[in-house]
């Protein structure tokens, strides 16, 4: 029994992180230029890793690197023939008070598109964006106390992001 407890504790504390969540931003090139579809394809995996880092790293952590990573992925997304992100700000419940959270929303949508390329319906995409915003906001002392974000944070806590998104999009309940 003691061996089992020791093994569990060791695995949780000392073993490498197998959660898939990057703990450090991937190394980004100092300069980058994308002119062709092949150029974009070459950086696809790097952009995906960077998006994972942006979606999982709390907003107040490594702010300068976060800004650099954000610029990198947004520039890649702006020209990529593989991934297109279309967001209507009127469907973002937080946008009027927290417009900067739109970047995190875009990161969540883009990562969802990369991880699940066959799932492209509006509800799934917006749910992924809202889940990213909610997760990051819940880790922020300031944002977690926001009245404007309270319904979203409550939806995250109750695992009801899809239902929250349906309301935000104006969709009727599809049970």
Q: What is the pLDDT of residues 108-141, one digit of tens each?
A: 999 999 999 998 899 999 999 999 999 999 999 9
Residue 3 in any domain: the answer is no
Structural domain includes residue 94: yes
**Would you say residue 9 lies in a domain?**
no
Average pLDDT of the residues in 166-170: 94
**Structural domain includes residue 21:** no
3 pLDDT higher than 60 = no
Residue 135 within any structural domain of the chain: yes
The pLDDT of residue 173: 55
Q: Is residue 175 part of a domain?
A: no
Q: Which domain holds residue 92?
A: 26-169
Instruction: Say what the pLDDT of residue 171 is.
Output: 74
Q: Is residue 105 part of a domain?
A: yes
pLDDT at 9: 37
* Confidence category of residue 14, pLDDT binned at 50, 70, 90: very low
The answer to whether 115 and 83 have CB atoms below 8 angstroms apart is no
pLDDT at 156 over 60: yes
What is the rounded distance in angstroms from the CA atom of residue 84 to the CA atom of residue 38?
Answer: 16
Q: How far apart are CA 51 and CA 46, in angstroms?
A: 9
* CA separation for the pair 117, 73 (Å, rounded): 18
pLDDT at 168 over 80: yes
Yes or no: say if 99 and 68 are a contact pair by the CB < 8 Å rule.
Answer: no
The answer to whether residue 10 sits within a structural domain is: no
Q: What is the pLDDT of residue 94?
A: 96
The predicted pLDDT at position 172 comes to 60
What's the whole-number mean pLDDT along residues 154-163?
A: 97
Residue 7 has pLDDT above 50, yes or no: no
**Nearest C-alpha neighbor of 134 from the set 124, 122, 146, 123:** 146
Is 90 exceeded by the pLDDT of residue 174?
A: no
Nearest to 57 by CA among 72, 43, 67, 45: 67
Domain count, the chain: 1
Q: Percent of the chain beyond pLDDT 70?
A: 85
């Amino acid at each position: 029994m003691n061996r089992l407890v020791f093994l569990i504790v060791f695995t949780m504390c000392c073993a490498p992180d197998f959660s898939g969540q990057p703990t450090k931003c991937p190394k980004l090139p100092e300069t980058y230029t994308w002119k062709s579809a092949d150029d974009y394809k070459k950086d696809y995996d790097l952009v995906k890793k960077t998006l994972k880092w942006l979606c999982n790293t709390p907003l107040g952590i490594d702010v300068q690197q976060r800004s650099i990573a954000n610029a990198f992925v947004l520039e890649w997304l702006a020209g990529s023939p593989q991934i297109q992100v279309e967001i209507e700000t009127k469907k973002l419940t937080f946008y009027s008070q927290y417009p900067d959270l739109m970047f995190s929303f875009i990161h969540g949508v883009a990562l969802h598109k990369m991880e699940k390329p066959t799932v492209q319906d509006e509800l799934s995409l917006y749910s992924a964006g809202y889940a990213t915003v909610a997760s990051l906001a819940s880790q922020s002392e300031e944002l977690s106390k926001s009245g404007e974000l309270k319904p979203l944070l409550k939806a995250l806590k109750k695992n009801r992001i899809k239902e929250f998104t349906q309301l935000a999009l104006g969709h009727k309940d599809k049970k």
